[in-house]
Amino acid sequence: MNSLKLPVNEIGFDIDGVVADTMEAFLRLAREDHGIHGISKEHITSYWLEECLPIPEKVIEAIIERILHDPFGIRLKPIPGAIETLTKIGMENRLIFVTARPVGKPIAQWMRTQLSQVPESNIHVHATSTHAAKGKVLQDLGISCFVEDHLETCKSLALHGIKSILYDQPWNQGEAPFLRVSSWAEIRNIISL
Ligand SMILES: [Mg+2]
């Protein structure tokens, strides 16, 4: 085993923007439900959608409500490669997901459905409601390394001694003192599996 690789039992994962292609769902719902066309993922240059998209705040809120409560109804898709790598990990290890979503149940069900080959007892989804709460939750779970797409969260995790792996997305560009990965193949390569 390559000792530079990350210990598989100490890794945790964010969900939206890392495992789930939430922005694809957002843009699709904007088109289908609200007739908003001409916006692509590259336009999402801020984590805070109202700061970067020419979409009324009320519409953004309505779409996010659906994404939070009905991942099956909106046909939320996984990011390519995520399920294969997570399945490989989860067959024999715990899988820790920590999301800032305010409700955990719908996304936990979605996760279990996606990871249908993984024993359910290995799948743990924690919903913290806030980004700031993630560090403590991860620390208590013994997680030393977290895959995340929100730059500010990565910075706050450092205060808890947790190393972040930044999942590259249009909304987290710029210099950052974190290992940046842009695919699940890259994640697979740095984990001791
Ligand atoms: Mg995220």
Query: What confidence score (pLDDT) does residue 3 get?
Result: 56
Answer yes or no: are the C-beta atoms of 80 and 184 closer than 8 Å: yes
For residues 112 and 139, state if they share a domain.
yes
Report how far residue 150's alpha carbon sits from residue 46's, in angstroms, rounded to the nearest whole number.
10
Domain count, the chain: 2
Q: 187 burial class (0-12, 13-18, 19+ CB within 10 angstroms)?
A: buried
Which is nearest to 110 in space by CA: 64, 75, 85, 66? 75
Distance 37 CA to ligand 1 centre (A): 24
53 assigned to some structural domain: yes
Q: Residue 99: give the domain boundaries.
A: 8-20+78-190
> 58-89 pLDDT, tens per residue?
999 999 999 999 999 999 999 999 999 999 99
For residues 123 and 37, state if they share a domain.
no
1 assigned to some structural domain: no
Q: Which residues surround ligand 1, an ion (CB under 5 A)?
A: 14, 16-17, 149
Final residue of a structural domain among 30, 51, 69 = 69
Distance 5 CA to ligand 1 centre (A): 23
Mind listing the pLDDT tens digit of every residue in the chain (193 residues)?
A: 445 799 999 999 999 999 999 999 999 999 999 999 999 999 999 999 999 999 999 999 999 999 999 999 999 999 999 999 999 999 999 999 999 999 999 999 999 999 999 999 999 999 999 999 999 999 999 999 999 999 999 999 999 999 999 999 999 999 999 999 999 999 999 998 8
For residues 29 and 103, state if they share a domain.
no
For residues 12 and 106, state if they share a domain.
yes
Cβ-proximal residues to 12 (8 Å cutoff; 6+ apart), any chain: 96, 97, 98, 138, 141, 143, 145, 146, 147
173 assigned to some structural domain: yes
